[in-house]
Amino acid sequence: MADLEILDVRKTFGDIEVLKGIDVHAPSGSFVSLLGASGCGKSTLLRCIAGLEAVNSGTISVGGEDVTGLAPEKRRLSMMFQSYALLPHMNVLENVRFPLRMRGKQHGTKTAQRELAVHALEQVQMDHLASRMPRQLSGGQQQRVALARAIVGDPRLLLLDEPLSNLDARLREDMQVELVSLQKRLGLTTIFVTHDQDEALSMSDQVILMRGGVVEQAGTPEELYARPATSFAADFLGAANLLSVTSDGVRRARLGSAVVPTPTEFSGDVNLMIRQEDLKVNNAEGLDSTVPAVVTARVFRGSELLLVLDAAGQEIRAVAPVSTAAEPGTEVTLSWNSRQSRVLAK
Amino acid sequence: MNKSRTEPWLLVLPVMALLVIAFVIPVASSLIASFTSTGSPGFTLANFSDFFESSVHLTASARTLRMAFIQTIASILIAVPLAYIMSRLSARARVVMMIATILPLMTSVVIRTFGWVILMGPSGPLARIPGFLELSNSHQGLLGTELGVNIAMVQVLVPFAVLSVLGVINGIDVRLQEASRTMGASFLRNFWHVVLPLALPGIVSGATLCFALSISSFITPNLIGGAQLPVIGAFIYQDATVNGDLPFAAAQAMLMLMAVLITIAATNRLASSRMK
Amino acid sequence: MKRRTALIAFTSTAVLASLTACMPGTGSGSAAGAPTELVITTFGGDWQKNFTDAVVKPFEKANNVTIKQVTLYSADALAQLQAQKSSPQIDVVFFSGGQEATAARDKLIAPISASSLSNGADLIDSAKSGLEQGEGPVIQISPVGLTYRTDKIDKPTSWNDVFDPKYKKHVAFTDLSNSYGTLGMLSINQAKGGTADDVTPGISAMGQAAKAGDAVVIKTSSDLQQAFSSRDIWLAPYAQDYAETLRKAGQPVEFVLPAEGSMASFITANAVAGRANIPLATKFIDFALSSDVQAKFVSGMTYSSVNQKTEIPEDLKSKVVWGSSLDKLQRLSGATFGEKSATWLKQWNEAIAQ
């Protein structure tokens, strides 16, 4: 168990700067997600931590030890790959024992190593398949084996590269829960790379949102969701409406013909962020902001409706109770509490 | 007739035809010829008994097999690390290495071997090394020695070994190696525990190819080893062209083919038991 | 490839030849009308070049004859004659490996009497020794002797010099898969007291030298050139004409006929039996025996002359065997070679292989 400290890490591939000065701190035992779209640098950063890529500048420290220049095998951390990367010529037990074998003496005799490996397999309920070959396992089973291999022998850091993305939706939810509980039980400092904001929000102690090789925003899931610092963060984390508004005086914004209050002062053209679930349709009770809108589409989601509306030429999405009368073409009013909206630079 | 079942057969037809014309028929006629005699009609085992009674032929067979084993092992030992390094290079550097590896195949074996003759002989640069010429009892350096033949043959064989090993190594998921590195395997241990076992099919096919090429070669052994280190290929050539004794040449060719087939069967068995 | 083109050339000339044979007015009378045609074999390469200049062109000019050359090596030529026995397509055939003995025995070639040759009286005995058995006369001789580096050793005199301790590690023997290798072995064998029936004295001495590393064994004539140029070889039994090839390649070598005498390669010219124009073929062969033509073989190919009247240029007198020395050359009969060569080769392989 150790903390991870990344200071001003830069990395270029040829002429392209992929990481443009990244700072991350993951406290010991925490679950930290690197979240972002593909190409944002999150996977490269993980590979730099693992030692699979050399950084151009900056430092990476694990448990206070500078590992920046160390070969991957000397960093004493473990990484789980999206493809699981189980060694096809070894059975499940040998796969899980492999890191112990490679790290050598500190893990004792062959028998001791096997006991540790079996223990790790027990943690993921795979001990009964210890003698199978990887190709005889299902995708979900392979993943559990890969997880067992990643946690065996107390790595200082557990690096997970989109480990859940190859699973179907149901299995994936189960694994999210199981992975977090395992991580908490073992107290493993975990760095988790994902492009899925739900996954990042639901599993992490801390989310690091990346964009174009820089950290866009870092914080707890709650902080990021409730108080996105930028339009990008607002859009990426959860379904948010970003309405283009112009200044209409102190804490007031003009949206088409309507004027609405804003939580903060601003000037010029900005985005006003309102979460879908904060909008009310034809119900302004206790709310200080209202605009007229026309329903353009209605999507039934079982427990609720998703409405797509047009307000002064801008598209707005809102969730409403199933009982709401909102056939396409219906004129409605949309209301919200200005304290739940945020003014964000464009 | 079901069209979808006949079409695949139509596709392999040219290959099958070529195989029959260029392999099955000649081998079958050699097999038949090996049981005949130029002098007398009817079938006979005389060619085989002559072979096993001739100490020269038995010595040459032992030499041929011994050198083929040594050359195969040496070629693989060189080719596997080379192929591994090539697989890890950038695309551009790999092309350069590839050309450098294949280029020797573009020149005739005879030309290349003459190069070795000069290099290994008394007027070559190596002859200045004290004691080098005494490597052969005729003071010809490496000429007329099995070591000399082995060196020249390995140079011939390595490209074939590299190509077959590289094909398999390139197919190994690079993430397996990255995973192994993050799990604490050093460069060399990763090579030993991950790359090598996964490259085994390529190593086996490369070794088989080298062995078959080596056992049937006679140009290089002739030019470097000379008449005093005869290999079976040289005897086959001699008996077929100089003595005009095709049945005896055919019998030797059949024995050589058997040696190759046994080796292939043995290595495949060994490899499949290792890979299970 | 060479052989295939030769076959194609052969087939087309054969067709041509049969066509002309059907035409009226052709035949032995060559005084007027369309030129008569002779089909002859050739060994190709430099040999063909020299032969064309020395024999073919002058003969064509003088006799209003067209001569077609077909590349066929001795063994292949014999096979062709046997296959075409009922309707031969070749007029003159050359043999270098003693095949004339078989051809004469099987009546594939027409006997030529010495008296029918204008040059018959001038021929050395060994050139006409086969005529009585129905073989054609010898037109070219390449003796086997010792080729040596003049800058390294003194002129050798005996076959036994190849075993001289002074030359250890600097001697090259030629493998018996090569015909000059066989002739060299037989020459050494004779010097050691052996005969064609008993080659043990020669082979065991050569085998011992080879196994001890005192001599190397090369397989082909190009190996021999390599041996002299880059393997530090000073002395080798080989053919007279090849010594000239080595000299042209820049090697400081000379050829010497050892005192014991030696075997030589004899090339015979034979008129094919059953052809329409045997007199013309004989005339052609006779022409090749003339001293003028023989002089061109000597100067162009460094062969020894079979005609005693041939003028040997001064500068070649040290390079070719001539005059009374020709008596020291022996001919290996094709019959003996055919009968013994496999046994010799076997014994040889056992003696030299390590």
pLDDT tens-digit profile of C280-335? 999 999 999 999 999 999 999 999 999 999 999 999 988 999 888 888 898 888 77
Tens digit of each residue's pLDDT (9 = 90 or more) over B51-64: 999 889 999 999 99
The residue with greater pLDDT, A265 or A99, is A99
* Domain encompassing residue C224: 143-263+334-352
| ipTM above 0.90 for this complex | no
Q: Which residue type does C256 have?
A: V
pLDDT of amino acid C29: 40
Q: Do residues C352 and B228 touch, judged by C-beta distance below 8 A?
A: yes
Claim to verify: residue C247 and residue C102 sit in the same structural domain: no
3-state secondary structure of A131: coil
CA nearest neighbour of C82 among C90, C276, C14 = C90
Residues C208, C307: one domain?
A: no
Q: Check whether residue C259 and residue C270 sit in a common domain.
A: no
Distance between CA atoms of residues C271 and C281, nearest Å = 6
**Number of CB pairs, chain A paired with chain B, less than 8 A apart:** 66
Tokens of A88: 């096809």
Domain count, chain C: 2
Alpha carbons B75 and B206: distance in angstroms, whole number: 9
Q: Which domains does chain A have, with CATH numbers?
A: 4-226 (3.40.50.300), 239-344 (2.40.50.140)
**Shared-domain flag, residues C208 and C348:** yes
Whether B132 contacts C210, CB under 8 Å: no
- C339 lies in the same domain as C197: yes
Task: Indicate if C245 and C345 belong to the same structural domain.
Answer: yes
Q: How far is CA A55 from the centre of its chain?
A: 23
- Across the B/C interface, how many CB contacts are shorter than 8 Å? 76
C185 falls within a domain: yes
Residue C236 falls within a domain, yes or no?
A: yes
Structure tokens at B91: 């695309």
Which of residues 9 through 68 in chain C touch B, CB cutoff 8 A? none
How big is the CA angle at C310 (ends C239 and C65), to the nearest 5 degrees?
A: 95
Structure tokens at B126: 């190596």
Contact A98 B183 (CB under 8 A): yes
Question: C329 lies in a domain?
Answer: no
Q: How many CA atoms lie within 13 Å of B160's alpha carbon, on the beta-carbon side?
A: 20
Verify that C298 and C192 share a domain, yes or no: no
User: Which is it for strands A206-211 and A31-35: parallel, antiparallel or unpaired?
Assistant: parallel
* Cβ count near C195 (within 10 Å): 11
Q: In sequence order, which residues have a C-beta less than 8 Å from that of residue A136 and are 6 or more positions away? A: none
Q: How confident is the model at residue A154 (pLDDT cuts 50, 70, 90)?
A: confident
SS3 (DSSP) at A177: helix
- CA–CA separation, A111 vs C267, rounded Å? 85
Give the H/E segment covering residue C272.
strand C262-272
Same domain, C165 and C228: yes
Q: C217 with C343, same domain?
A: yes
pLDDT in tens, A194-238: 999 989 999 999 999 999 999 999 999 999 998 899 999 998 887
> CA B181, CA A36: separation in Å to the nearest integer?
26
Q: How far is CA A50 from the centre of its chain?
A: 19
Task: Give domain status of residue C211, yes or no.
Answer: yes
- Give the tokens for residue C241: 């004409």
CA of B185 vs chain C CAs: smallest distance (Å):
49
In 3D space, the residue among A181, A191, A145 whose CA is nearest the CA of residue A34 turns out to be A191
Q: What is the CATH number of the domain that holds C223?
A: 3.40.190.10
Q: Which residue, among C99, C217, C231, C345, would best test binding to B if mutated, counting the most B CBs under 10 Å from its CB?
A: C231
- A180-199: per-residue pLDDT in tens? 999 999 999 999 999 999 89
| pLDDT tens readout for residues C11-70 | 444 444 444 444 443 344 444 456 689 999 999 888 999 999 999 999 999 999 999 999
Q: Quick one: tokens of A51? A: 């030692």
Q: In angstroms, what separates the C-alpha of B98 from chain A's closest C-alpha?
A: 24
Between CA B195 and CA B201 the distance in angstroms is: 11
All domains in chain B, ordered by first residue: 59-275 (1.10.3720.10)
Say yes or no: C124 and C16 in one domain: yes
Q: Examine the domain organization and report whether C115 and C159 are in the same domain.
A: no
**Dihedral over alpha carbons B199, B201, B204, B208 (to 10 degrees):** -130
pLDDT in tens, chain B (276 residues): 455 677 778 888 888 899 898 889 999 999 999 998 876 778 889 899 989 998 899 999 999 999 999 999 999 999 999 999 998 888 899 899 999 988 888 888 888 888 898 899 888 888 888 888 888 887 888 988 999 999 999 999 999 999 999 999 999 998 999 999 999 999 999 999 999 999 998 999 999 999 999 999 988 998 898 888 999 998 998 888 777 788 999 999 999 999 989 988 888 887 777 654
Q: Is A196 exposed, middle or buried (0-12, 13-18, 19+ CB in 10 A)?
A: middle
Indicate whether C55 and C180 sit together in one domain: no
Q: Which residues of A touch B (CB under 8 A)?
A: 50-52, 71-73, 75-79, 81, 83, 85, 87-89, 98-99, 102-104, 149, 159
